[in-house]
Amino acid sequence: MSAVEAARAWLAQDPDDVTRTELDALIRQAEDGDAAAAADLADRFAGRLAFGTAGLRGRLGAGSNRMNRVLVTQAAAGLAAYVRARAGAGATVVIGYDGRRNSDVFARDSAEIFAGAGLRAVLLPRLLPTPVLAFAVRHLDAAAGVMVTASHNPPDDNGYKVYLGGEDAGSQIVAPADAEIAAQIQRVADAGDIRTLPRSTDYEITDEAVVEAYVAATALVAPAPAGAAGMPWVYTAMHGVGHETLARILTLAGYPQPVVVQAQIAPDGAFPTVAFPNPEEPGAMDLSYETARAAGAEFILANDPDADRLAVAIPDARAEGGWRRLTGNEVGLLLGWRAARTATAGSLACSLVSSPGLQTVAEHYGLDFHATLTGFKWISRAPGIVFGFEEALGYLVNPDTVRDKDGISAAVAMLGMIAEAREQGATVADLLAQFQQTFGFFDSSQVSVRVEDVSIIGRIMAALRAQHPTAIGGVRVERVEDLLEATGDEPAGDVLRLWLDDGSRVIVRPSGTEPKLKAYLDVRGTSADDAAARLAALDAGARELVAAASASPRPAEPGTAEKPRSA
């Protein structure tokens, strides 16, 4: 079937006036000989947006390779068939959505399809953070949950994240569930017209009870100590949905409300003040720094648009503008330290590319430790977990309530830790120094190679596997671990882990969400300066290593992102 034929078949079943108009115009232009329109159509129908362990995520638009109402309807029908087979007719599926374009539309379509399939479909009352949906799966004893969000992706994207209840305890899907759901979705797509699928408006819209239960549970993460009184701080929601829920929790837990970044506090799917709505991206927190300087704030907390991630920034005279964002490893190690101090048993967990400092914390307090593949679908499943994190600003601090990263509960935990330090006259910078004195001088960084042709990443990984490096940054490579196949307790993944004689570590892997190859660098020094020097040498060596594995592309030049600091 040609792209034009596929587009006409798609057009016939598309219920969305916007994408119908968009697609109809492209068809006409392509038939009139417009090469650009023909190429656009070919891309839109080159395949299907793949459903995997991250659910669906992609650019909004008409076509099987985009996020739209046809694709979402097919996904909902496939998921409904999976849930019925797993949990039976009448099982509960809860649906949430954020402030991105079409999130509410996709959520209502899903609710109608679930209800039409004989399931109990429960729609959250309004746009809410992803952690509230993850909480609701457990709270409502649902068989599954769907969150319509693209998290911190670009403004033109949207996505469809799936959670499972029952024995999965509200975690995101993993294999083989992802493949089984994908097969059901494909069966629906192969059957043809979505207009034949049964729909029903007999779905429930929850009242505030679910949200109130999440607010109450999260306020208990860290009730405000005396040191919270008068604490000046700044918060940004990054044009997302975090502020309303967080503000309610702050009031209940006894914390002062923050000075907010007004231009970013209300949900806005256009994300007008940032090029990329991700606190990790250079420039994304500039308005926060400006607000903090004007307010005389002691620190900044930032959520990403669906509030499942948390960024923390502190004053730093060495940084441009006088403020710097802490790395995910720094925040993760501080919160892990907090969790370990009060845990009597259980485990700390992090992704294998996150700081090895968490294992040191676990051993110091006699707790178990687990390193997992990247993603909270794996971290949340660590046996006996009391805390988990990944370096990409994700933290799980309340596993009995939410089995996923939660930027709101992490914010409350961080507020509690900062307020307790204030009682002793200490700052976040002092906490970082105390961590170093107690556990060691850990430092980390990252080298990223963005490519246009993803096959280049495979070529680089193959070259590194074919000939392991003998030294990186002038330090001998002691051993190389290839995690392509699981061995013992090690997880399986397209990952190379290289250990150096001085205890440093380099992990090379393809990005799971972007066309990038990433090298994660970790060192442990005898002092902060020693750790920084080791990291600089390792960074230069890692860039040379990746460049040698492939003449093109070259690694990104230093200084294109915020420089991580030690924790």
List active site positions. 151
Cα gap 356→339, rounded to integer Å: 16
Cα gap 301→309, rounded to integer Å: 10
Q: Looking at 365-504, which runs of residues are DSSP E strands?
A: 368-372, 385-390, 394-396, 441-450, 471-472, 475-482, 496-500
The two structure tokens encoding residue 32: 């009139």
Do the Cβ atoms of 432 and 500 come closer than 8 Å? no
Cα gap 132→138, rounded to integer Å: 10
**Angle between helix 328-342 and helix 407-423 axes, rounded to 10 deg:** 70
Report CA torsion sign: 113, 116, 122, 125. Answer: positive
Cα gap 59→438, rounded to integer Å: 46
Cα gap 358→493, rounded to integer Å: 21
Residue type, 218: T
* Element at 350 (helix H, strand E): strand 347-351
DSSP 168: G
- Between the CA of residue 227 and those of 249, 311, 423, what are the distances in Å? 17, 21, 5
Cβ contacts of 520 within 8 Å, gap of 6 or more? 353, 391, 444, 446, 505, 506, 507, 508, 509
- Between the CA of residue 435 and those of 317, 336, 528, what are the distances in Å? 21, 11, 12
* Element at 236 (helix H, strand E): strand 233-236
Q: Looking at 60-125, which runs of residues are DSSP E strands?
A: 92-97, 120-123
Give Cα 236 to chain centroid, integer Å: 17
The two structure tokens encoding residue 231: 């604490």
Cα gap 517→112, rounded to integer Å: 40
Radius of gyration for the alpha carbons in the chain, expressed in angstroms and rounded:
24
